[in-house]
Amino acid sequence: EILARYGKTYTWELKSRLMGLRDHDAAELLVKETKIDLTADEYLKERNEKQALKFPHAKPMPGVMRLVKHLKVHNIPIVVATSSTRDNFNIKASNNQELFGLFDSIVCGDDSEIKNGKPAPDLFLSACARMGNPSVTQCLVFEDAINGVEAARNAGMHVVWVPDPNLASLYPGDNGATAVIQSLEYFDPVKFGLPPFKDA
């Protein structure tokens, strides 16, 4: 909506470069690339107002609840590591407490220990620390963004890339991910040394 006002289009090519970045980093890149007549802060203020109306209605992706409940039942530590600010995350999570209440911790892009956003590994290393610092090679990341896949690899972790079909067509192949799946409905925990789903 904001870009359309300036005669610009939010293409998947642009979105792919912004996905996974911290809010201000993404806003600066968007303003620079589109040359809209807004500062990054002005863009973020307007975008956040619009998102505050839409985010509470967000629904979990197919397969998410099944996977998270499965991991929780088997006492496998799980942490959300998102580039979103804590405020934006809380808005997104407001109507999904059943899901987010299952996680052991939530790491956000504006948490004090996060010095660098994706593709730097900071978010995932912080998530690892909150799980008690297991070996990074024992950590498995689920990502929808190319920047996130790179961040997970930079952290030395395994990563399952679950891209939107538009993103997958822009970036064919695995892009460094350990595995690529179309939906979390297709995730096979056994392939990663995890207990099988009971309904498998």
Tell me what pLDDT residue 92 has.
86
* CATH level 3 topology of 64-192: Rossmann fold (3.40.50)
Tell me what pLDDT residue 59 has.
86
Tell me what pLDDT residue 200 has.
58
Cα–Cα distance for residue pair 120/123, rounded to 1 Å: 8
Ranges of CATH 1.10.150.240 domains, the chain: 2-57
Tell me what pLDDT residue 56 has.
78
Is the pTM for the entire model greater than 0.95? no
CB atoms within 10 A of CB 97: 9
Is 162 exposed, middle or buried, given 0-12, 13-18 or 19+ CB atoms closer than 10 A? buried
Q: What is the mean pLDDT of each run of 10 residues along the chain (200 residues)?
A: 93 94 94 96 93 84 96 98 93 91 97 96 98 96 97 98 95 96 97 90
Classify domain 2-57 at the CATH superfamily level: Putative phosphatase; domain 2 (1.10.150.240)
Ranges of CATH 3.40.50.1000 domains, the chain: 64-192
- 3-state SS, residue 89: helix
